[in-house]
Amino acid sequence: MMMKFLNIGIVCLGLFLTPFIGSTQDLIKQSKPVNIILMIADGVGINQMSGSLYQYNHALLVEKMPFIGLQKTNSFNSLNSDPAAAATAIACGVKSFDGALGVNMDSISIPSMLKIGADNNMKTGVVTTASMTHVSSAAFWAHSSGYKNEEFIASQLPGSPLDLIIGGGEKFFTDRQDKKNLWEDLQRQGYQTLSILPEAKSFPIADFSKKYAVFTAFDWPLSVMEGRKYLSSAVTFAIDFLSKKDKKKDGFFLLVNSAQIALGAKLNNPEYMLSEYNDFDEALAKVLDFAERDKETLVIVTSAYETGGYSVNPGSKREKLQHEFTGKATTGTLVPVFSQGPGAIKFTGFFENVDFLPRLKALFGWN
């Protein structure tokens, strides 16, 4: 009798696992994506996601993504990595000192995954809710041993590998201490340069023979609570622009950085923080819609670090949470990594923040 039940159990288990195993094998076979969309939600750990889930009482888009990993966020010299070193670890595959932007421990410039993608003929773009020179996006195209020198960082954009960039910080290009006008430098390097209001929901028509730089604010863009509305439309525009620029079908690399979630956490302002994450979630909807139609795009959603030590405390109810923060700085908390599309299975399990680049190199056959 026991053997009979055991045999039935094995058959049932096999029936349950067969479609899963087949699906996983199919994903492994489709190991090389054509496009990459990397979405970085600054300052977000599992608890920030929990807060958004319950505060807005709706499913998060990451729930649709089939693969999950956990990333260790420490820098070379600190468990609580600062944002610059954390972004550099993801972008360039090296653990460096706090404050380092695109450089190693010897302050030597290291090529980022975006630069390597461009060297392999991919079209590249960045969309950010911060200044273009802010660490989480600048680590992918600039190099500096001090992340606060934003005019120096801005001076590297005209010679960068970017085909598109959308974000704030126009003052670092046009109102500089050295009196240089980098707007003109960008135009000489083939960029169509424009300014829009952060409340805008659409973008000026692009000249596809040129690269595209759009400033959304003179300094930092507004927060969502102050009226910023461009992230989702910018992501849709960027995907369309890069797809059309990619005439040879070499693929594109798009970085989407929601930077102000971390600022809300740093200020210990849960409404600010969660409204920014909700905005990020709406942008992710546009990305997943494209990826599901395209079938050749690897989507990765993560953060470079957690900020604030946020928690949803006892006594919380849906849409009425009891929030608490343990501080105003980055923490050493592990952060989740969600992925879907060809090659997504490579980003599961526990891994270091420096592991993103070598895994992408292996997927694409980059040197």
DSSP state of 109: B
The pLDDT of residue 1 is above 60? no
DSSP state of 103: B
Do the domain assignments include residue 252?
yes
Do the domain assignments include residue 3?
no
Pick the closest to residue 126 from 277, 246, 235 (CA basis). Answer: 235
Do the domain assignments include residue 74?
yes
pLDDT of residue 11: 34
At 201, is the pLDDT very low, low, confident or very high (cuts 50, 70, 90)?
A: confident
Q: Are 130 and 168 in contact (CB under 8 A)?
A: yes
Do the domain assignments include residue 1?
no
Q: In what order do the strands lie in the sheet with 335-340?
A: 191-195, 211-215, 164-168, 123-131, 252-258, 35-41, 297-302, 335-340, 67-72, 349-352
pLDDT of residue 161: 96
Do the domain assignments include residue 102?
yes
Pick the closest to residue 89 from 299, 334, 100, 79 (CA basis). Answer: 100
Q: Are 332 and 80 in contact (CB under 8 A)?
A: yes
> Average pLDDT over the chain, rounded to whole?
91
Strands (E) located in 132-210: 164-168, 191-195
Do the domain assignments include residue 4?
no
**Residue keyed to tokens 């041993």:** 145
Do the domain assignments include residue 189?
yes
CATH code of the domain in which 60 resides: 3.40.720.10
Q: Are 139 and 145 in contact (CB under 8 A)?
A: no
pLDDT in tens, 214-225: 999 999 999 999
pLDDT in tens, 131-152: 999 999 999 999 999 999 999 9
CA terminus-to-terminus distance, the chain:
59
Q: Are 338 and 296 in contact (CB under 8 A)?
A: no
Helix axes 231-245, 270-294, angle to 10 degrees: 30
Do the domain assignments include residue 8?
no
At 30, is the pLDDT very low, low, confident or very high (cuts 50, 70, 90)?
A: low
Number of domains making up the chain: 1
pTM for the full predicted model: 0.91
pLDDT in tens, 93-135: 999 999 999 999 999 999 999 999 999 999 999 999 999 999 9
Q: Are 280 and 231 in contact (CB under 8 A)?
A: yes
Q: Are 131 and 172 in contact (CB under 8 A)?
A: yes
Q: What is the mean pLDDT of residues 228-253?
A: 95
* Alpha carbon distance 361, 345 (integer Å): 15
Its domain, for residue 337, covers 33-364
The pLDDT of residue 12 is above 60? no
pLDDT in tens, 322-367: 999 999 999 999 999 999 999 999 999 999 999 999 999 999 999 8
**What amino acid is encoded at 157 in this protein?**
L
